[in-house]
Amino acid sequence: MTMRLFRPCIFSGWLYPEALFRIKSTEKMLCLTFDDGPDPASTPGLLDILDQYHVKAVFFCSGQAAEKYPSLVEKIKEKGHIAGNHGFSHIDGWKTNTEDYCENADHASRFLPGRLFRPPYGRITISQYGKLKKKFRIVFWDLMAYDFDAGFGAAGSLSVLKRKIRRGSVIVLHDKPQSSANSILPEFLNSAISRGYRFVLP
């Protein structure tokens, strides 16, 4: 049986004290983020849905994809969303030395010049974190819905979103054709908004 962790390890906040996992607020607010895009098969649909619900989000884009589809990055920004840095290539910080990891993030900055950075896989060493936090605001998440996991299924991802959101949750979904985000997003947004949540940018 596959083990899925919907929230980060409790120690993560101690290891990366200046990183964002959850927005501190007593209000019912959520932050919606999408990783791995942009992609012409998924990004336009996500933007249309977000427009329909008047929700703004952060798209943590791959530098490679941003270089390939600059018009989609511009579209994301034109719609009032943030295009964040998800590294140039999707490398694992636990398997990459600090110099190469930081260089990968810097390379992505040529195409994604903002200050927000999300580590691919959520894996970053203390040394990598120490260097990158001087340039970026590092953003993890409070809730992972596994929308990229075909074995979990769209219904499973939607159920997680409905059951596990809480005040300040930073939610990660994925902007790629393999994700169920496009299919589950309208129902999730309807549910969250009807329960009094509003969506904010970090």
Residue 136: both structure tokens together: 């970026």
Give CA–CA dist 169/7, Å, rounded. 10
Strand partners, 187: none
Give CA–CA dist 41/178, Å, rounded. 10
Residue among 3, 5, 25 at smallest CA distance from 122: 5
Active site (annotated) includes residue 35:
yes
Active site (annotated) includes residue 90:
no
Residue 21: both structure tokens together: 């996992």
Give CA–CA dist 114/132, Å, rounded. 13
Q: Is residue 15 a contact partner of residue 128, using CB atoms and an 8 Å limit?
A: no
Among candidate residues 81, 86, 147, 174, the one labeled active-site is 174
Q: Is residue 160 a contact partner of residue 6, using CB atoms and an 8 Å limit?
A: yes
Name the packing angle between helices 181-194 and 153-164 (round to 10°). Answer: 20
Catalytic residues: 35, 174
